[in-house]
Amino acid sequence: MMIPQFETQALLLRQLQQSDVSELHGILSQTAVTDSLGRTPHCNLEQTRQLLSAHLHRQANGEEVFWGIAPREDNIIIGFCGLRNLNQAGSPELAFAIAKEFQGNGWMQTALQTVLQYATVQLKAEKIKVFLAAENAAAKHILQKLGFKGKPTREDPSREIWVKK
């Protein structure tokens, strides 16, 4: 699957590559980031390398599409966002994370606006879902600004599902 590159005033959204593994590990080893994803921090580079390889494999199979988020001036990955479950007609799942030191400056909201436009225009998504930890106030704030509505999941009250139609 060909992954388009996007540029905003401050950001570059580009295809993730194996060479991004160190930056991704720096993000996924932060407890503040992984707690908000409902995951455990990555303990070593090999764990991150395996995750990235799995993402790239699913991307090649058309199951998902992920972008690395980088400031335009240095092109170093500070976060990621993307859509998975593309094989579920019209209803992909949005996933995203950004390094703690880059949270709170509006960059994730900008990146997600770009990805949501791609999802609705290019992929013809009718509904987009996000699953997140119930205590992830920052992500919920961004999702509200983007028009998502949230509620606890039936299976696990510590997780929420947010939907945008």
Query: Please, what are the averages of pLDDT over each run of 10 residues along the chain (165 residues)?
Result: 91 96 96 85 96 95 96 95 89 95 95 97 94 91 97 90 95
Q: Is residue 117 part of a domain?
A: yes
- What pLDDT, on the 0 to 100 scale, is given for residue 163? 96
Q: How far apart are CA 135 and CA 155, in angstroms?
A: 16
Q: Is residue 137 part of a domain?
A: no
Q: Is residue 52 part of a domain?
A: yes
Task: Report which DSSP code applies to 69.
Answer: E
Domain count, the chain: 1
Q: How far apart are CA 127 and CA 124, in angstroms?
A: 9
Q: Which CATH number does the domain housing residue 64 bear?
A: 3.40.630.30
Report how far apart, in Å, the C-alpha atoms of 51 and of each of 19, 40, 43, 44 are: 13, 13, 12, 11
Read off the pTM.
Answer: 0.93
Residue from 66, 17, 23 nearest 42 by CA? 23
Q: Is residue 61 part of a domain?
A: yes
Domain that holds residue 113: 6-126
